[in-house]
Amino acid sequence: MVEKKKSRIIRLTFERYTKGNQRLEDIATFLAKNGISTRSGKRISKTRTAYILANPFYVGLFNYAKELHEGKHEPIISKKLFDEAQEMLKFRGQPERKDMKCPEPCIRQEKLDHQLSSLIQKVSLPKDWTKKLLKMANKDFQNFAQSLTTCVKEKNEKISTISVRLERLLNGYLDQDIEKEIYRAEKGKLILQKKSLEEEISTFSHKQNDWLEPFTEWVKDAQNMDKIASDNNFFAKKVVAKEIFGSNLLLQNKSVRASAPKILNSFGKMGGNQWDALRASHLLASSKPLSSILVGREGFEPSKAEPTDLQSVPFDRSGICP
């Protein structure tokens, strides 16, 4: 079994590595800083780090006698994250192919680096937008927490009512006021209702609290784009460019450009992701009147464009009490 604290660090290890902007040496350093070492207390090597990232134990499986088996332990990471780590291990461990033909003329890496930096910098989240988004998110989280508390209270009251009905049903059966078959049938219905309510409470408790952390991490990543754009790590730029633009990044006549974000034509209604929303907000901030995109504050006129439309960033917060 893996300790809860170490489980979190292992999960962060996989998440960091799959982003593609950290080497095995960087991951080994991250593990060392967080107190993860070998059994003898030594620093984990690059080879050992690769072994950790390739170990199916963390996804709920284990190898024994060269066979893969299902384990009874709780998975630490998802199968999707594990698969992404394996792809990154293969990608980082193999030399780049040189036999692929491209119809476009060659472009020097320095020029491509400069163009990618320019595109990435334009997507960076401004500090004032960051503050506003985090403030909105925390307020939204508190509102959802209050709704969740009310919802759980209602369901607990229903559970209490069912428990009382079960007790009365049992007393009626013991007093021979209710036939055996009727008692069993009614008891079964009530127990199933109670179980459903208990599972709903458990689901709400997990689902409503799992969106703020990834959203906050994304905001930090988006703000960090400016730093990545100004660094000399060309590989990191390629990785984030793929994450932000995906197949919308085009190279033509030695010039890199990004097609319009999917979400722009029908904002928040169809397609797109949080990066598309951020790109669209930047475009709106530069092409529309300032008053049409500002988020108003009660009693004050804001002085800067703020990420109004980023309220539509698609993080799932559904599941509130129906």
Task: Specify the CATH number for the domain of residue 69.
Answer: 3.90.1750.20
Considering the domain boundaries, does residue 302 fall inside one?
Answer: yes
Same domain, residue pair 261 and 208: no
Looking at the structure, tell me whether residues 89 and 137 fall in a common domain.
Answer: no
The verdict on 13 and 89 lying in the same domain is yes
* Residue 128 CB coordination number (10 Å): 14
Residues 193, 240, single domain; the answer is no
Helix (H), strand (E) at residue 63: strand 61-64
Q: How many domains does the chain have?
A: 3
Residues 123-153 have pLDDT tens digits of 888 888 888 888 888 888 877 777 777 888 8
Q: 186 with 256, same domain?
A: no
Q: Are residues 227 and 308 in the same domain?
A: yes
In a domain, 13, yes or no: yes
End of a domain among 182, 212, 242?
A: 212
* Terminal CA-CA length for the chain: 38
Is residue 290 in some structural domain?
A: yes
Which of 161, 178, 212 is the last residue in one of the domains?
Answer: 212
What ranges in the chain are assigned the alpha helix state H? 4-18, 24-33, 46-53, 79-93, 109-123, 127-174, 180-207, 212-230, 234-245, 274-287
Asked whether residue 105 is assigned to any structural domain, the reply reads no
| 25 part of a folded domain | yes
* C-alpha dihedral sign at 133, 138, 139, 143: positive
- What burial class does residue 151 get, using C-beta atoms within 10 Å of its C-beta: 0-12 exposed, 13-18 middle, 19+ buried? buried
Residue 107 covered by a domain: no
**Could you tell me if residue 121 is inside a domain?**
no
61-118 pLDDT, tens digit per residue, is 887 766 577 788 888 998 889 889 988 998 876 554 555 566 777 888 888 888 889 8
- In terms of residue numbers, what domain contains 77? 4-100
Look at residue 148 in the predicted model and tell me its pLDDT. 77
Give dist(CA 10, CA 20) in Å, integer: 16
The answer to whether 49 and 24 have CB atoms below 8 angstroms apart is yes
Mind listing the pLDDT tens digit of every residue in the chain (322 residues)?
557 778 999 999 999 999 888 889 999 999 999 999 888 888 999 889 999 999 989 988 887 766 577 788 888 998 889 889 988 998 876 554 555 566 777 888 888 888 889 888 888 888 888 888 888 888 888 777 777 778 888 999 999 999 999 899 989 988 888 898 898 888 888 888 888 888 788 777 666 556 777 888 888 888 888 888 888 888 888 888 888 887 677 777 788 887 766 654 444 444 567 788 787 787 777 665 544 444 544 433 334 444 444 444 444 444 445 4
Residue 168 C-beta-side C-alpha neighbours within 13 Å: 8
* pLDDT of 164: 93
Give pLDDT, residue 158. Answer: 93
Query: CB-based burial of residue 80 (10 Å sphere; 0-12 exposed, 13-18 middle, 19+ buried)?
Result: exposed
Same domain for 206 and 239?
A: no
Given 164, 183, 212, the domain boundary residue is 212
One domain for residues 9 and 92: yes
State the helix-helix crossing angle for 79-93 and 46-53, rounded to 10 degrees. Answer: 140
For residue 123, the model assigns a pLDDT of 83
Residue 164: inside a domain, yes or no?
yes
CA distance 264 to 280: 6
User: How many whole angstroms separate alpha carbon 70 and alpha carbon 60?
Assistant: 7
CA distance 126 to 147: 31
Same domain, 71 and 141: no
268 and 297 inside one domain: yes
Same domain, 134 and 179: yes
